[in-house]
């Protein structure tokens, strides 16, 4: 009994939980308070964050924003002025915030002064539209015309708008040309430099893109767009230490401007920081205008799905489908969500508002009319094609070359011309690309790197062993290609042309007389189908071409004897079976 009493009287060992009290801790508390509209608490936490990191302008700016929300405009302006004078004079948006505060205090002269400073010093023009509206309001209140201001962000703005439109249309090569010229004229145009980095990235030129980003950050270390882009590059290059440090910084950032919030949200999603992405996407959806954007609901749904909030994800994808009823995208992701619920597949899902690459090709295969218009206009679809052309495996590149042949515009021609000049690319792929270029209307000589050296491919330069090209040979090939159109893909059509040229080269100059082109064309299709393991019969091609089975089989035998087609096919099948 005494022993028990003694044990009971012994004081319990206190449990101590260590909490790291740093700027990030107070920043996160501030954000949580803001999400709950507890502005007094948010202000208290932002003050503590600023005390821990006095040189970080973001915490001070957040503090000024909260004070403005609370109506304490003078204190807000004092902090904004201190940011510009003592911490970071490049944060030109502070002039706009001060102008807004002065306008709320009805100090219209002071508001006009700060607004002019903003317009004359801000390079990106992130609040340009709002500033112009405010200037009209101030002019009305002051009962006089507004003072003239040289708007720095408008210098080259028209060309920049054109470049952005080109990026949105997926015309990346043209956008690069416009942006490079614009930067030559306006070296400190940060928005143009950021978009140039993106254009390089979409085209698959990683080294050029990261060089462009580093240039931006050397000129403006706190540029949010550049920091977000850099983080994505670090992830792509598997530079884990640099990525971890930069991600930590971005997670602490709480931008107010919608464009910056969207950029940060999508970046956090790509980096796998789905909780942070979800929080920022929800902030954007609180805006009435943004609520009608189907892609924003898709991004929110992906973030929700990736953190296990499946009901929220379903709700946002249903809203996406309602806002974009013609799109395949919400239906595809709803089906993926069902599989995730049944544990048939796993997250995370991709944030891009387009179908995954494999689904795009399946959609193309199901389509009888080529690439649907919405896919042609989608810059992310186009960028995925250009990306895969530079970084995909052999089979993917072959599929992409065919898909680009269906797009058939100037951007495609530029991409394929660049591809065939690459010394390390596969020879067969380059020859298919040349065939596609010819098919989509390129008649002029084509510069390529073939057989280890720079080569100019003329329209009739089909084989070094074939010094002439007869019109009757051309007519056979054209008949076969015209009959095969829509039934065979571009790779198969290319292989038919290659087969015909190879046969003529091997038997030249003793080429049999081409009397019945229908029989030769039918024989070419028959052999091409067999090479690609397609089911076909002599009766079928005889019906299509209006030639006799006897004639077709005769020409098939001639070509097989000259080119050894059956032996090649047997060798391929043996190799295939060995892999199995």
Condensed to tens digits (0 to 9), the pLDDT of residues 150-197 reads: 666 666 677 888 888 888 777 788 889 999 998 988 888 888 899 999
pLDDT of 368 > 80? The answer is no
Would you call 240 exposed, middle or buried from its count of C-beta atoms within 10 A (0-12, 13-18, 19+)?
exposed
Please state the rounded mean pLDDT for residues 278-288.
85
Of 43-52, 122-131, 217-226, 352-361, the least confident: 352-361
pLDDT of 380 > 80? The answer is no
Residues contacting 352, CB < 8 A, separation 6+: 380
User: Looking at residue 529, which CATH number applies to its domain?
Assistant: 1.10.472.10
pLDDT of 530 > 90? The answer is no
Distance between CA 330 and CA 472 in Å, rounded?
52
Task: State whether 346 and 439 are in the same domain.
Answer: no
Quick one: pLDDT at residue 504? Answer: 86
Task: State whether 292 and 177 are in the same domain.
Answer: yes
Helices and strands per DSSP (H, E), number in the chain: 31, 2
Domain for residue 13, yes or no? no
User: Which residues make beta-bridge pairs with 455?
Assistant: 448
Domain for residue 336, yes or no? yes
* Domain edge (last residue) among 357, 382, 417: 357
Domain for residue 72, yes or no? yes
Q: Write out the two tokens for 564.
A: 């050894």
How large a percentage of the chain has pLDDT more than 70? 82
Distance between CA 234 and CA 244 in Å, rounded?
9
pLDDT band of residue 571 (cuts 50, 70, 90) is: low
Quick one: pLDDT at residue 458? Answer: 66
Distance between CA 260 and CA 302 in Å, rounded?
19
Domain for residue 6, yes or no? no
Quick one: pLDDT at residue 18? Answer: 45
What angle is formed at CA 206 by the lines to CA 201 and CA 209, rounded to 5 degrees? 60
More confident residue, 401 or 473: 473
Residues contacting 276, CB < 8 A, separation 6+: 251, 265, 268
Please state the rounded mean pLDDT for residues 299-310.
91
Domain for residue 438, yes or no? yes
Q: Which of 252, 206, 204, 265 is nearest to 230 (CA)?
A: 206
Task: State whether 439 and 479 are in the same domain.
Answer: no
Domain for residue 316, yes or no? yes
Cα atoms in the Cβ-side hemisphere of radius 13 Å centred on 550? 0
Please give the mean pLDDT across all residues of the chain.
80
Task: State whether 348 and 410 are in the same domain.
Answer: no
Task: State whether 172 and 189 are in the same domain.
Answer: yes
DSSP code of residue 405: H
More confident residue, 370 or 394: 394
Task: State whether 68 and 89 are in the same domain.
Answer: yes
pLDDT tens-place string over residues 450-501: 778 887 776 554 455 555 677 888 889 889 888 887 788 777 888 888 888 8
Distance between CA 515 and CA 322 in Å, rounded?
61
Quick one: pLDDT at residue 120? Answer: 82
Quick one: pLDDT at residue 367? Answer: 52
pLDDT band of residue 217 (cuts 50, 70, 90) is: very high
Which range among 100-104, 120-124, 446-450 has the greatest average pLDDT?
A: 100-104
Cα pseudo-dihedral 163, 173, 177, 126, rounded to 10: 30
What angle is formed at CA 386 by the lines to CA 384 and CA 387, rounded to 5 degrees? 60
Q: Give the structural domain span for 137.
A: 23-146
Domain for residue 18, yes or no? no
pLDDT band of residue 301 (cuts 50, 70, 90) is: very high
pLDDT band of residue 3 (cuts 50, 70, 90) is: very low
Q: Write out the two tokens for 570.
A: 């047997």
Burial 58-89 (b: 16+ CB within 10 A, else e): bbbbbbbbbbbeeebbeebbebbeebbeebbe
* Domain edge (last residue) among 92, 125, 146: 146
Task: State whether 327 and 381 are in the same domain.
Answer: no
More confident residue, 326 or 148: 326
Task: State whether 305 and 183 are in the same domain.
Answer: yes
Domain for residue 285, yes or no? yes
Task: State whether 272 and 340 are in the same domain.
Answer: yes
Distance between CA 313 and CA 334 in Å, rounded?
9
pTM across the whole model: 0.49
Quick one: pLDDT at residue 265? Answer: 93
Domain count of the chain? 4
More confident residue, 263 or 427: 263
Task: State whether 298 and 395 are in the same domain.
Answer: no
Quick one: pLDDT at residue 574? Answer: 54
User: Looking at residue 32, which CATH number applies to its domain?
Assistant: 1.25.40.10
Task: State whether 567 and 503 are in the same domain.
Answer: yes
Quick one: pLDDT at residue 193? Answer: 92
pLDDT of 99 > 90? The answer is yes
Task: State whether 103 and 215 are in the same domain.
Answer: no
71 sits in the region (left: phi over 0; alpha: psi -120 to 50; else beta) called left
pLDDT tens-place string over residues 45-68: 888 887 888 888 888 888 888 898
Contact call for residues 556 and 523 (beta carbons, < 8 A): yes
Please state the rounded mean pLDDT for residues 300-311.
92
pLDDT of 315 > 90? The answer is yes
* Domain edge (last residue) among 146, 178, 201: 146
What angle is formed at CA 301 by the lines to CA 297 and CA 303, rounded to 5 degrees? 120
DSSP code of residue 146: P
Please state the rounded mean pLDDT for residues 555-576.
73
């Amino acid at each position: 009994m005494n022993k028990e009493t003694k044990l009971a009287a012994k004081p319990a060992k206190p449990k101590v939980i260590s909490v790291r009290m740093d700027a990030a801790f107070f920043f996160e508390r501030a954000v949580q308070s803001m999400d709950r509209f507890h502005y007094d608490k948010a202000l208290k936490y932002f003050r503590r964050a600023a005390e821990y990191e006095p040189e970080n302008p973001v915490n001070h700016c957040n503090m000024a924003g909260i004070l403005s929300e609370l109506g304490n405009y003078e204190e807000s302006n004092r902090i904004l002025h201190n940011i510009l004078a003592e911490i970071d004079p490049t944060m030109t948006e502070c002039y706009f915030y001060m102008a807004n505060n002065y306008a709320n205090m009805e100090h219209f002269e002071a508001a006009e002064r700060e607004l002019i400073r903003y317009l004359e010093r801000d390079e990106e023009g992130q609040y340009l539209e709002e500033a112009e509206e405010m200037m009209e309001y101030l002019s009305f209140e002051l009962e006089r015309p507004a003072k003239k201001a040289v708007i720095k962000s408008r210098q080259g703005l028209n060309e920049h708008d054109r470049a952005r439109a080109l990026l949105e249309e997926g015309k990346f090569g043209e956008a690069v040309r416009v942006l490079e010229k614009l930067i030559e004229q306006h070296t400190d145009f940060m928005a143009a430099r950021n978009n140039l980095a993106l254009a390089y990235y979409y085209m698959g030129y990683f080294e050029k893109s990261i060089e462009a980003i580093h240039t931006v950050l050397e000129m403006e270390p706190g540029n949010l767009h550049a920091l977000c882009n850099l983080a994505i590059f670090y992830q792509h290059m598997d530079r884990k230490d640099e990525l971890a440090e930069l991600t930590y910084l971005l997670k602490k950032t709480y931008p107010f401007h919608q464009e910056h919030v969207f950029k940060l949200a999508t970046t956090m999603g790509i980096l796998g920081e789905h909780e942070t992405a979800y929080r920022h996407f929800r902030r954007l959806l609180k805006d009435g205008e943004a609520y009608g954007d189907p892609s924003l609901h898709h991004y929110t749904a992906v973030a929700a799905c990736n953190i296990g909030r499946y009901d929220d994800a379903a709700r946002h994808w249903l809203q996406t489908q309602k806002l974009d009823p013609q799109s395949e995208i919400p239906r595809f992701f709803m089906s993926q969500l069902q599989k995730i619920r049944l544990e048939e597949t796993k997250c995370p899902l991709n944030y891009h508002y387009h179908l995954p690459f494999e689904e795009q090709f399946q959609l193309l295969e199901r389509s009888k009319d080529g690439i649907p218009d919405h896919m042609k206009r989608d810059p992310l679809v186009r960028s995925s094609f250009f990306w895969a052309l530079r970084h995909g495996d052999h089979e993917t590149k072959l599929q992409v070359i065919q898909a680009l042949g269906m797009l058939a515009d100037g951007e495609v021609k530029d991409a394929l011309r660049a591809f065939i000049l690459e010394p390390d690319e596969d020879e067969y792929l380059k020859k298919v690309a040349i065939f596609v270029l010819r098919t989509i209307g390129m008649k002029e000589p084509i510069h390529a790197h073939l057989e280890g050296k720079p080569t100019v491919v003329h329209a009739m330069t089909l084989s070094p062993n074939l010094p002439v090209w007869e019109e009757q040979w051309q007519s056979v090939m054209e008949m076969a290609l015209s009959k095969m159109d829509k039934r065979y893909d571009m790779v198969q059509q290319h292989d038919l042309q290659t087969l015909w040229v190879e046969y003529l080269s091997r038997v030249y100059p003793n080429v049999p007389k081409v009397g019945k082109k229908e029989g030769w064309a039918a024989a070419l299709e028959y052999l091409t189908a067999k090479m690609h393991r397609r089911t076909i019969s002599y009766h079928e091609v005889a019906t299509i071409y209006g030639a006799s089975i006897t004639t077709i089989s005769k020409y098939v035998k001639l070509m097989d004897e000259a080119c050894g087609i059956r032996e090649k096919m047997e060798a391929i099948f043996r190799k295939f079976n060995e892999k199995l």
